[in-house]
Amino acid sequence: MNTISLIDQVAVVIGATGGIGAAVCRSLAGAGCRVAVAYRNDPEAAEALARSLPGQDHAWMDADVTHSASLSDLARRLGDRYGTVDILVNSAGMTRFVPHADLDGLDDGLIDEIFRTNWRGPFATVRALRPLLERDGGGVVINISSIAGTSGVGSNVAYCASKAALNTMTISLARALAPAIRVVAICPGLVDTDFIQGLDPAWRQDQVSRTPLGRLVRPEEVGQAVVAAATLTSSTGCCLTVDGGRLLA
């Protein structure tokens, strides 16, 4: 099997200090990447994560995906330090639990914040880092989406819609940026992060019972899927499901 080596490649992980983002950082560093840990609000956690990664030449950099000026500054700093970006992982996201029937609970401010972070943020990040991704033969963008974008089941209606939009953006940008840049989405099911483990145990067990494989997706499995998308496939414009079979239920 032909595989792409990630030794010394530069990977940028947006939203790196979250449960999924941190696992992605560890998987990419373990595969040989130099990882830029991009964070919004927690420099101490970002520094600790970067220093804990295997390998060398990792960095931590602040970046707010809701502000294009911040992303332009991130691109400048990445260019100064690394000169290129081989892998961009868009893992920043936000949501809040609102029952789908509670239309009034899903107010305009929350809707705008979800789409500003979950859709416009990844687009603006690709826009800012495109010149770096096009260097040295071209790179890959990996958007962390969700099966909520397909199933319509998730923390609220706007969250599901934002992930559906992210999936469509993945397809559109794959066409627009080819052949220099591949664009792929990873669509996890419910991921067993520390946050999920801290919720009502009965609710979590009910979610496990709804999953054909009998367990929730582990964060490191999402990280492994990111490495696989970067190394084992030449596909672009596709959405790879990592959900333990939840869409089958």
Rounded to whole angstroms, how far apart are CA atoms 147 and 167?
10
Give the orientation angle of helix 19-30 with respect to helix 219-231, to 10 degrees: 50
Give the dihedral of Cα atoms 58, 42, 230, 152; nearest 10 deg.
Answer: 180
Give the dihedral of Cα atoms 112, 115, 117, 119; nearest 10 deg.
Answer: -160
Q: Measuring CA to CA, which residue among 109, 120, 121 is closest to residue 40?
A: 121
Active site (annotated) includes residue 39: no
Rounded to whole angstroms, how far apart are CA atoms 12 and 87?
6
Number of CB atoms found within 10 A of residue 203's CB: 10
* Host H or E run for residue 163: helix 157-177
Cis-peptide, bond into residue 43, ω within 30° of zero:
no
Catalytic residue among 46, 141, 159, 191: 159
Q: How far, rounded to the nearest angstrom, does the alpha carbon of residue 32 sit from its chain's CA centroid?
A: 19
Strands (E) located in the chain: 10-14, 34-39, 59-62, 87-90, 140-144, 182-188, 238-242
Active site residues: 159
